[in-house]
Amino acid sequence: MTVFLLLDSKILDNGITPLDPNNPEVVANAKFAVEKHNEDKKEHLVFVKVVRAESKSIAGITYNLIFAAKNGSAQNLYHAFVVIDYVGQKQLFSFDRVM
């Protein structure tokens, strides 16, 4: 069974779907990335907003997210991949500061 998720966007030729950065599901996945990063790295980043988001369906859904988060008074951009597998389990695959 194949499921395609379209959220006011188009699927590009490479299977990547641009997503609305304000979509509640996109925001929830970015917040998950920040929370999981904080838990794993013992940091205290605070989510601000999603700047860009895309998804691709491969044995689940992979979210490619760029978002702003604060560390104290300093705000930076971060890039994360959040993967939701075919049974609905969510995992933070990578999390990096954008230089």
Q: pLDDT-derived band of residue 99, with 50, 70 and 90 as boundaries?
A: confident
Domain boundaries of the chain, sorted by first residue:
16-97
Domain 16-97, second-level architecture: Roll (3.10)
The answer to whether residues 7 and 18 touch, using CB atoms and an 8 Å cutoff, is no
pLDDT tens digit sequence for 35-47: 999 999 999 999 9
Please write the tens of the pLDDT for every residue from 50-84: 999 999 998 899 999 999 999 999 999 999 999 99
Q: What pTM does this model have?
A: 0.85
pLDDT more than 70, % of the chain: 87
- CB of 85 closer than 8 Å to CB of 61: no
